A and B are shown apart, each in its own frame.
Chain A
Amino acid sequence: MIPRHFFIALSILLAAVLGMSIYVWHMRGRAAATPVPSANTGPVVAPVAGNTERVTLYVAYDDIGILRAQPAQVPLPSVRQQRAEEVLRALITLYLDKSSPHPLPPGSDIRSIYLVDPGLAVIDINAAFADGHRSGVLAEELTVASLIQTLSANIPGILKVKILVEGRQRETLAGHADLSNFFDVSAINQLSSQLQSTQ
């Protein structure tokens, strides 16, 4: 004779197993239904839910070493943090394109952006982005200014930015641009104006 409490425990376990199976099946279905965004599909980002909106990207041009403000239509979700990620992904997609004006290493991506009130944005880039980045004061600062200026121009209220690599603090992007401190967005705004002319 099976003891009663043993039977109850077994039933609960079986119910849990069944529940987990249904959940896993559901998650698998969701993942399968999601289109995998291709890496280099041109200057337009992978489609996301929400209307496309006009944003301003600050695009680095290596040939003359400048930043150029460039309008783009980007599909934007309504959540602020996801908007931030999509705007920067649009910029990076452009840099990964064959005709990139400021090539980034293959596989460069934004892992995530955290928006922390008041006014802090943490941009977490992946290892490929930083490890393969070209070294040089101007080459690195064009990347940093492009990211931060694009972010702050399209997501209001950001005062300071921290750039992490794979979730960790790093001394520099590729030997020059200092990542150990917080970037002052107003200082980056001024730098971006300087970078928009060759003088």
Chain B
Amino acid sequence: MPSISRRVGRAPGHLVVPSPAAHPCSCGDNRPRHPWPRFFSLLTMLLFLCIPLCAAPEKHLSVYSTAANYSLPIVQRQGRDYIGLLELLEPLGTVSAKTDGLHWRLHYNNILGEFTVDKTRARIQGRDADLSAKFLMENGRGLVPLASLNSLLPRFLGGPANLHEESARLFIGNVATHFTALVAPEDPAHLVFQFTAPVNPSVATEPGKLHLTFSHEPLTAPASPTLTFASKTIPSAAYSEGNGAAEITVTTNVPLMAGFSNDGRTITLAPAKSLPAATVASKPAMPAPQNVQGAQSPPIPSSAPRRYFAVVDASHGGADRGEALSPTLAEKDVTLAFARRLRQELESRGISTLVLRDSDANLSLDDRAFFANTTHAAVYIALHAASSGHGVRVYTALLPYANATDDDRGPFRSWPTAQASSIPTSQAAAASVAEALKKGEITVRTLTAPLRPLNNIVTAAIAVEVAPPASDVSSLTAPDYQQLIAGAVANGIVAIRAQLAAAP
């Protein structure tokens, strides 16, 4: 399994734990300070950090059927894997069971199964069925050997069931999802996976490898478990199964990013914006394709990455209202209006623009960064609005602390500092936008800010925070004020267009 999974900009937990030596006795201080509250808060912190580490992995059977995909716990009895038969059939039809001494009678739709404790034979519709090991009963719950499912289930279901016993995956009926993997001849750095049904794997990276793990999809093996490609950057991929999941491991010598398209039926792996090998971001947690549909604004083009020059991000949205600018005015609504106006201004100047949030939906910061990165845009512009101060503030990323041992794994650069190599271009873009705003006689400042997702964006990235021209917050919604600022920001981007386009 991957050594680094879902590195999503969270600080390494071990650094949060204060060393006991760091808070010596409170001698010489007359503030009431008892050691116990501190001790307990420390303990709470330690427990908080420990919980994910302490949870032992439980063995599960993944079940794929046309009715539902689900997962059930596997129990180990007498050195064999067992599964609760009633729980297994429950999502598939009407099921009930009765216990009578050592006998257990199970009705599934109109089929009757009769089982007896410690017997290796059962009767289904009056005919014998071999269980390969003893039937067990625990608190009225009938347990059958996992290995018996291949012969038992077709008798109940009247159709095929295919158990992959080693990997604990059970396929009921004709539910397989197949895939192909091809390197585009014109661009051997892009590997395109096509799936016969939508998929939503988790993505993890380790030096030289990218793992796609499919827990909820009936993904089946290709003709050969190892695929080789005529690509120097992505020489091969391998299919494997285990512990209720299928996994595709892609071997690569550059950091890759994964992009979804075609409603989750296509995954494109491509180098993370052709940055130098040592400075590229590893992929964050994968956004679920259904989130994209929920946002009513498909941020991912429908085929392999189509290049937008600019990505405009209306910050906040949905439950995240941003600042309450006034009792009736939420920041999220102002940013959306600004984003649409800015798109119009940019497009009218010949700059293709994607608005990341084009409705009142919320996208996580990771999703925003991921979409911005996978569109391969030349510039990312996040919009904020504020009631305090006047005019406009233009921000570039203030990168978090990073040192080689904490954050870099082989050729991968950590997600929190993905912006590092684009800082000069981002600052040039911010200066250009500020210059254009000044020309429009708008008060402007350029600053850095610890503002996600700027630090996660691999391309030039700025944030524009719009405050009212004077003290009246309602002027944030005034069309001419919005127009003035959107026009100036667009002018600033146009002025630096060539430099942005030429940036690596």
Are B16 and A65 in contact (CB-based, < 8 A)? no
- B residues in contact with A64, CB < 8 Å: 389
Q: Does A68 touch B at the CB level, under 8 Å?
A: no
Q: A79-B27, A114-B23 are in contact. List 7 more A-B contacts (CB 8 A).
A: A79-B24, A82-B26, A114-B18, A141-B451, A178-B450, A187-B398, A191-B448
Are A48 and B398 in contact (CB-based, < 8 A)? no
- B residues in contact with A187, CB < 8 Å: 398-399, 401, 448
Q: Does B242 touch A at the CB level, under 8 Å?
A: no
Chain B residue nearest to A195 in the complex (CB): B447
What is the CB-to-nearest-CB distance from B37 to chain A, in angstroms, rounded to a whole number? 9
Task: Write the A147-175 contact mask toward B (1 if CB under 8 angstroms, else 0).
Answer: 00000000000011010100111011001
Which of B9, B30, B450 lies in contact with A34, CB distance below 8 A?
A: B30
Are A136 and B29 in contact (CB-based, < 8 A)? no
Are A136 and B447 in contact (CB-based, < 8 A)? no
Task: Write the A42-62 contact mask toward B (1 if CB under 8 angstroms, else 0).
Answer: 000011111000000000001
Q: Does B67 touch A at the CB level, under 8 Å?
A: no
Chain B residue nearest to A63 in the complex (CB): B389
Task: Write the A69-98 contact mask toward B (1 if CB under 8 angstroms, else 0).
Answer: 000000001110110000000000000000
- B residues in contact with A164, CB < 8 Å: 16
Task: Write the A13-41 contact mask toward B (1 if CB under 8 angstroms, else 0).
Answer: 00000000000000000010011110000
- A residues in contact with B446, CB < 8 Å: 194
**In the complex where A35-B30, A116-B18, A181-B9 touch, is A136 in contact with B448 (Cβ < 8 A)?**
no
What is the CB-to-nearest-CB distance from B471 to chain A, in angstroms, rounded to a whole number? 11
- B residues in contact with A136, CB < 8 Å: 323, 384, 386-388, 465
How many residue pairs between the two chains, A and B, have CB atoms under 8 Å in the bound complex? 160
Chain A residue nearest to B27 in the complex (CB): A79
Q: Which of A167-199 contact B (CB under 8 A)?
A: 167-169, 171-172, 175-178, 180-185, 187-188, 190-191, 194-195, 198-199
Q: Does A127 touch B at the CB level, under 8 Å?
A: no
- A residues in contact with B45, CB < 8 Å: 167-168
What is the CB-to-nearest-CB distance from B428 to chain A, in angstroms, rounded to a whole number? 16
Which of B23, B32, B447 lies in contact with A31, CB distance below 8 A?
A: B32
Are B11 and A162 in contact (CB-based, < 8 A)? yes
Task: Give the complex CA separation of A55 and B153 in angstroms.
Answer: 77
Task: Give the complex CA separation of A81 and B29 in angstroms.
Answer: 11
What is the CB-to-nearest-CB distance from A40 to chain B, in angstroms, rounded to a whole number? 17
Are A81 and B398 in contact (CB-based, < 8 A)? no
Q: Which of B1-59 contact A (CB under 8 A)?
A: 9-11, 15-16, 18-19, 22-24, 26-32, 38, 41-42, 44-45, 48
Which of B26, B324, B399 lies in contact with A135, CB distance below 8 A?
A: B324
**In the complex where A34-B30, A122-B18 touch, is A137 in contact with B322 (Cβ < 8 A)?**
no
- B residues in contact with A120, CB < 8 Å: 15
What is the CB-to-nearest-CB distance from A129 to chain B, in angstroms, rounded to a whole number? 15
**In the complex where A178-B452, A190-B448 touch, is A169 in contact with B400 (Cβ < 8 A)?**
no
Are B24 and A181 in contact (CB-based, < 8 A)? no
Are A182 and B15 in contact (CB-based, < 8 A)? yes
Number of interface residues of A (CB under 8 A): 62
Q: Does B408 touch A at the CB level, under 8 Å?
A: no
**In the complex where A77-B29, A182-B15 touch, is A137 in contact with B400 (Cβ < 8 A)?**
no
What is the CB-to-nearest-CB distance from A133 to chain B, in angstroms, rounded to a whole number? 11
**In the complex where A116-B22, A194-B447 touch, is A50 in contact with B400 (Cβ < 8 A)?**
no
Task: Give the complex CA separation of A164 and B49 in angstroms.
Answer: 13
Q: Does A112 touch B at the CB level, under 8 Å?
A: yes
- A residues in contact with B388, CB < 8 Å: 62, 65, 134, 136, 138-139
> Can you spell out 17 A-B residue pairs with CB atoms less than 8 angstroms apart?
A47-B30, A49-B29, A79-B28, A81-B24, A112-B23, A114-B18, A122-B16, A135-B322, A136-B384, A136-B386, A136-B388, A137-B451, A137-B465, A138-B386, A169-B10, A176-B451, A178-B450
Q: Does B331 touch A at the CB level, under 8 Å?
A: yes
**In the complex where A62-B388, A122-B16 touch, is A191 in contact with B24 (Cβ < 8 A)?**
no
Task: Write the B424-450 contact mask toward A (1 if CB under 8 angstroms, else 0).
Answer: 000000000000000000000111111
- A residues in contact with B190, CB < 8 Å: none
- B residues in contact with A62, CB < 8 Å: 388-389
Q: Which of A92-128 contact B (CB under 8 A)?
A: 111-112, 114-117, 120, 122, 124
Are B32 and A178 in contact (CB-based, < 8 A)? no
Q: Does A144 touch B at the CB level, under 8 Å?
A: yes
Are B41 and A167 in contact (CB-based, < 8 A)? yes
What is the CB-to-nearest-CB distance from B367 to chain A, in angstroms, rounded to a whole number? 14
Q: Does B416 touch A at the CB level, under 8 Å?
A: yes
Are B449 and A182 in contact (CB-based, < 8 A)? no
Task: Give the complex CA separation of A77 and B323 in angstroms.
Answer: 39
Task: Give the complex CA separation of A43 and B445 in angstroms.
Answer: 30
- A residues in contact with B451, CB < 8 Å: 137, 141, 176-178
- B residues in contact with A124, CB < 8 Å: 41
What is the CB-to-nearest-CB distance from A46 to chain B, in angstroms, rounded to a whole number? 7
Are A178 and B400 in contact (CB-based, < 8 A)? yes
Task: Write the B390-410 contact mask toward A (1 if CB under 8 angstroms, else 0).
Answer: 000101001111100000000
